[in-house]
Chains A and B, each alone.
Chain A
Amino acid sequence: MTLEQLEVGETGIVKEFTDLEMSVKLMEMGCLPGEPVKVARVAPLGDPIAIHVSGYQLSLRRFEASTIILQ
């Protein structure tokens, strides 16, 4: 499954990425394979979402979250 499919409060572990260009940006921000990510909240209109990753909060659009495959 992908990060986009997680509900608020659920945690997953990053496995790999479907988009190479996006993966480079996401990894720089601490979204690395093996790293746990937890969906903290969803924006009022359903997009973007906010996740907890490597000790801080990151917001990203649903499209970007859909490129992250979880274990």
Chain B
Amino acid sequence: MKADIRVALVGNPNTGKSTLFNALTGLNQKIGNFPGVTVDKKVGYAQLPDGRRAEIIDLPGTYSLYPKSRDESIVFSVLAEKDTALTPDLIIVIIDATNLKRNLLLYTQVADLKIPVIIALNMIDLSKKAGVDININKLAEKLGVPVIPVSARKLEGINPLKTAISYANKFALQQESIDVMAIAPEIIESISKEFSTDNPYFALQLAHQHETLKFLTPEQSNRIEELEKEHSFHSQKAQATETIARYNYINDLLYDTVKTPVTAHDESVSNKIDKILTHRIFGFIIFMGVLLFMFQSIFAWSAYPMSLIEDLFVWIEGGLRGILPGGPLANLLIDGVVAGLSGVLVFIPQIAILFAFISILEDTGYMSRVTFMMDKIMRKVGLNGKSVVPLIGGFACAVPSIMSTRTIENWKDRMITIMVTPLVACSARLPVYTLLIALVVPDRNVWWLFNLQGLALTGMYVLSLVSAIIVAYVMKFVLKARERGYFIMELPVYRMPRWNNVLFSMYERSKTFVLEAGKVIIAVSVILWVLSSYGPGDRFKKIEQTYSQPQYTRSMTPDSLARVVSTEKLENSYAGVLGHVIEPVIKPIGFDWKIGIALITSFAAREVFVGTMATIYSVDGDADRIDSVQNKMRNAKNPNTGGPVFTLAVAFSLMMFYAFAMQCASTVAVVYRETKNWRWPAAQFIYMTVLAYGAAFLVYNLLK
């Protein structure tokens, strides 16, 4: 799609940038990544009143052009780099009218880059309500740029803003804000000369940020470094001088354009709410209540759509089997691709609901209060206040939780959170645990009150949280921080959630998950299907020949014959052979080759374990009937000892393995998507597998 004009949205966090972006572009938008970095890039198209199309780029929220995180470092490079596919023709600076002073700092920096600017004065309704009197015409006149009052939430002022975009001039008209030359005259002059730019602020920014700018060659960056030494340029001192000069300019500017009533802060509604929500006792109780409600809802509300999706796929599979002629191609399509697809799509309800909650909590401003309350506890183990939500979300599913770590600005804190979240016992482990616990733990009460089986299950959940915290604590010392850790965070005013944004967020996150993680999941399911449906050499042919002999066809019903054949085939398939191959490795933790097959197949997803067990022990009836799987497993005899296969030691060893091992293709895929580097999912896979093996080994040998 070709656009006539390219517009970049720039603004502080919590100014309603995303709301305005949605208001301008509607559903006509897509998410990608900026070239070479993992930062989300949102691009959309808006139809202008004069018939032209504008491409709108939403840049990460930032308080200034000096980046504090990797997300923010993208802003200056997009604005400053010339002649790329992203270079904007026009910048819209979004300013929160209720917080003009701090918001104008970023405007003055952007304006000094001399790219044409429009100001969108957002939340104008709220500032009017608060009694702030802004002389918009005078402000626009003093700044030399159009100032458009808007209320993105109420969709007011959107058309005037579009008109302003279509009238945008090719040349910057904004007034000079501060005397940039005065900050560091020598270095600005040298850089301007050597890099042939006539913009002193661009030259100054090059001096500050040359190390992180991708459009500079290493030689250019080194040359700037030399110039810095030559003129003894001190980046932070210059930045401090600049910030003070800018605020002086802003104070002058606001002096005769804005009248703010003197109101006591303590009386604002937001403060009253904060007194309760961040109370030292009620605060934690309310937070626990919110979490409980959230996860209860994720389980309860997702159950119905999830079973609908499963039913739909059962129907599709049945339909396809009816239509397609039998054969390997049809089987690949049905048991590989369609089965894999259903494994992806079945997660959508959980993802959508979790993200609805997260976007509501963020929109209202409650999330930053949670961060505020939990920061001290989480910091002790190397995490951050914002790690709380993904960690607790891990009880439902690691996939949406890892996607939600994007709210953590600090790189190290975010990586640790991503690395430990899959340790938290997710819902996919539940069927494995219940099956194995019911097999070996007696259904008996202790001290009248506690059921032994329930205690064992609770123990597995507690173990998962404890292990996540311990691993986080270890990683705190292993990972090197890229940035110094800060916790200077705005506590935004409480607001009603924007329901449109909640819907957008549900839609966007689900779409991203299906498109990105889905590819990998389908690939893995196809590979697993091939491994379990083909065997080396002519082993399958021989099985079929053997069982087509009359002594079998006469003495057995067709159903039981088919089951025996499929069991034999599984043992002789590549997966079965692999099971035998890995037997020496898994013997020390108490597993035989049959469990080995289940381990291999369930590396794609843990829930596969039950189904594989069902196939291996050729259960009567369908594979979903746990009781029959259980009986077969209970009766399974170890050929060497004559005793049962699933002893207490084996069952708990297996549970340890499922507690720690990274048996989830979706998580691997999503960690790759979030980190954009295979090193992270690989490191995670290795440490978790080592942990799983170690724990299983320990437990097996202790209980044996």
For A24, what are the chain B residues with a Cβ–Cβ distance below 8 Å?
Answer: 66, 236, 239-240, 243
CA–CA, A51 to B488, complex, Å?
11
CA–CA, A33 to B278, complex, Å?
29
Indicate whether B702 reaches chain A with its CB closer than 8 angstroms. Answer: no
CA–CA, A12 to B330, complex, Å?
75
Which of B243, B271, B368, B372 is close to A28, meaning CB atoms less than 8 Å apart? B243
For A58, what are the chain B residues with a Cβ–Cβ distance below 8 Å?
Answer: 488-491
Q: Are B244 and A33 in contact (CB under 8 A)?
A: yes
Which of A22, A28, A33, A50 is close to B491, meaning CB atoms less than 8 Å apart? A50
Indicate whether B233 reaches chain A with its CB closer than 8 angstroms. Answer: no
Name the CB-closest residue of A to B265. Answer: A52
For B279, what are the chain A residues with a Cβ–Cβ distance below 8 Å?
Answer: 44
Name the CB-closest residue of B to A53. Answer: B102
Within 8 A of A (CB), among B241-283: 243-244, 247, 260, 265-266, 270-271, 274-275, 278-281, 283
Name the CB-closest residue of A to B14. Answer: A56
CA–CA, A56 to B488, complex, Å?
13
Name the CB-closest residue of B to A61. Answer: B487
Indicate whether A23 reaches chain B with its CB closer than 8 angstroms. Answer: yes
Instruction: Tell me whether chain B's interface is mostly helix, strand or loop, or mixed.
Output: helix
For A47, what are the chain B residues with a Cβ–Cβ distance below 8 Å?
Answer: 375-376
Within 8 A of B (CB), among A12-71: 20-30, 32-33, 38, 40-41, 43-48, 50, 52, 54-61, 64
For A43, what are the chain B residues with a Cβ–Cβ distance below 8 Å?
Answer: 278, 372-373, 375-376
Q: How large is the interface on A (under 10, 10 to 19, 20 to 34, 35 or more residues)?
A: 20 to 34
Q: Are B487 and A27 in contact (CB under 8 A)?
A: no
With contacts A41-B274, A57-B490, A61-B487 known, is A28 near B63, CB below 8 A?
yes
| Residue-wise interface mask of B (643-670) relative to A, using a CB-CB cutoff of 8 A (1 in contact, 0 not) | 0000000000000000000000000000
With contacts A21-B236, A24-B66 known, is A45 near B376, CB below 8 A?
yes
Q: Are A38 and B284 in contact (CB under 8 A)?
A: no
In angstroms, how far is the closest chain A Cβ from the Cβ of B374?
9
Q: Are A64 and B278 in contact (CB under 8 A)?
A: no
With contacts A29-B63, A29-B102, A55-B102 known, is A48 near B376, CB below 8 A?
yes
For B98, what are the chain A residues with a Cβ–Cβ distance below 8 Å?
Answer: 55
Q: Are B63 and A56 in contact (CB under 8 A)?
A: no
Indicate whether B704 reaches chain A with its CB closer than 8 angstroms. Answer: no
Q: Are B487 and A60 in contact (CB under 8 A)?
A: yes
Name the CB-closest residue of B to A47. Answer: B376
In angstroms, how far is the closest chain B Cβ from the Cβ of A36?
11
With contacts A32-B244, A43-B372, A44-B279 known, is A54 near B274, CB below 8 A?
no
Name the CB-closest residue of B to A32. Answer: B247
Q: Are A38 and B372 in contact (CB under 8 A)?
A: no
Indicate whether B486 reaches chain A with its CB closer than 8 angstroms. Answer: yes
| Residue-wise interface mask of B (490-534) relative to A, using a CB-CB cutoff of 8 A (1 in contact, 0 not) | 111100000000000000000000000000000000000000000
With contacts A43-B278, A43-B376, A48-B372 known, is A26 near B488, CB below 8 A?
yes
Q: Are B260 and A55 in contact (CB under 8 A)?
A: yes
With contacts A40-B265, A50-B491, A59-B491 known, is A27 near B244, CB below 8 A?
yes
Q: Are A20 and B240 in contact (CB under 8 A)?
A: yes
For A52, what are the chain B residues with a Cβ–Cβ distance below 8 Å?
Answer: 265
CA–CA, A45 to B373, complex, Å?
7
In angstroms, how far is the closest chain B Cβ from the Cβ of A70?
17
In angstroms, how far is the closest chain A Cβ from the Cβ of B135?
18
Indicate whether B554 reaches chain A with its CB closer than 8 angstroms. Answer: no
Indicate whether B53 reaches chain A with its CB closer than 8 angstroms. Answer: no
CA–CA, A59 to B375, complex, Å?
11
| Residue-wise interface mask of B (212-243) relative to A, using a CB-CB cutoff of 8 A (1 in contact, 0 not) | 00000000000000000000000011011001
Q: Are A54 and B101 in contact (CB under 8 A)?
A: yes
Binding site for A on B (CB under 8 A): 63-64, 66, 68, 98-99, 101-102, 105, 236-237, 239-240, 243-244, 247, 260, 265-266, 270-271, 274-275, 278-281, 283-284, 368, 372-373, 375-377, 484, 486-493
Query: Given A38-B265, A44-B373, A52-B265, list of 5 further CB < 8 A pairs?
Result: A24-B240, A41-B275, A50-B274, A57-B270, A61-B375
A-B contact pairs, 25 of them (CB 8 A): A20-B236, A20-B240, A21-B236, A22-B486, A23-B240, A26-B488, A28-B243, A29-B488, A32-B244, A40-B265, A43-B278, A43-B373, A43-B375, A44-B284, A45-B280, A48-B372, A50-B274, A50-B278, A54-B101, A55-B102, A56-B99, A56-B102, A56-B490, A60-B487, A64-B487
3 A-B pairs with the lowest CB-CB distances in the bound complex, closest first: A44-B280, A57-B491, A45-B376
